[in-house]
Amino acid sequence: MTTTAIERIASTLVAVIAIAVLFFLMVPLLVAVPLSFNAEPYFSYPMPGLSLRWYQEIFGSTVKGIEWRNAFFNSVVIGVSASILATVLGTSASLGIARGDLPFKQSLQAMMLSPLVIPVVVYATGAVYFFARVSLIGTYPGLIVAHALLGTPFVMITVTASLAGYDRNLTRAGLSLGASPWRVFRKVSLPLIGPGVASGALFAFVTSWDEIIVTLFLAYPNQQTIPRRLWAGVNEQLSPVVIAASTLLFLVTLCLLVVTEVLRRRNARLAGTL
């Protein structure tokens, strides 16, 4: 058997495995999403009819509708705020670590990326003890900081990847022409690494948007986010409203991931031209 034939067989096998894994991951969504349009309040196939009643309950003027909208508003505010904070922290850390003369560079980088490998339950437990000492338990600033620390590593990864293709002679040229470091960063560096920064910010927002464990540990019962509201809905009474809200949550996340992929490809094109 020739090398070309072996490569074709290997490529086909990898493609089949990838499709199988994708199908395995998508099956729960393919089953659950149609149930959010079920006309009856139970889960069964075939569905007796289609209806938007569960989405109307989310956006309606009932008490439950108000609770869902408040949870959505809280998720957006916490997610955006955490994303901004994570972007500032992650970008600053990446710029500092990218310097060749930084002492303990590898140790600092490993410490900043540690939230990716530490179990979220362990992180949440430690956050409870620390935030209790600074009176941040049950506060929105506490949730924002906790979510931002989870999103910071994603910003670091994307910005560091962007800096790998960045020509530092551009920074030196700007400084040699009399521009301040901040002006050089704002006018030269940031536009070039901007797609990486934006991708990291979106990843940080998605991390906060889907976070439930840290919220359960740090938030009071009245501080509802979409994931926490879903958790409460599943525990209290499994209703198609929960599936409808889950579908909306999935659509928002999917849109953000599509935008992230577009930014990633643009960043790759920019890196190829530098």
CA pair distance 217, 212, nearest whole angstrom: 9
Whether residue 170 contacts residue 188, with contact meaning beta carbons closer than 8 Å, is answered with: yes
Model pTM score:
0.78
List strand residue ranges (DSSP E) for 66-150, in order. none
- Residue ranges of domains in the chain, CATH in brackets: 62-273 (1.10.3720.10)
DSSP 40: S
Q: What SS3 string covers 226-247?
A: HHHHHHHHHHHCCCHHHHHHHH
Q: 181: Cβ–Cβ under 8 A, 6 or more apart, which residues?
A: 175
CA pair distance 56, 212, nearest whole angstrom: 25
Q: pLDDT tens, position by position, for the chain (274 residues)?
A: 566 777 777 888 888 898 888 888 777 777 777 777 777 777 667 777 777 777 877 777 777 778 888 888 888 899 999 999 999 998 888 887 777 666 777 777 777 777 888 888 888 888 888 888 888 888 888 889 999 998 888 888 888 877 777 667 777 777 777 777 778 777 777 777 777 888 888 888 888 888 888 888 888 877 888 888 878 777 766 677 788 888 888 888 788 778 777 777 776 666 555 5
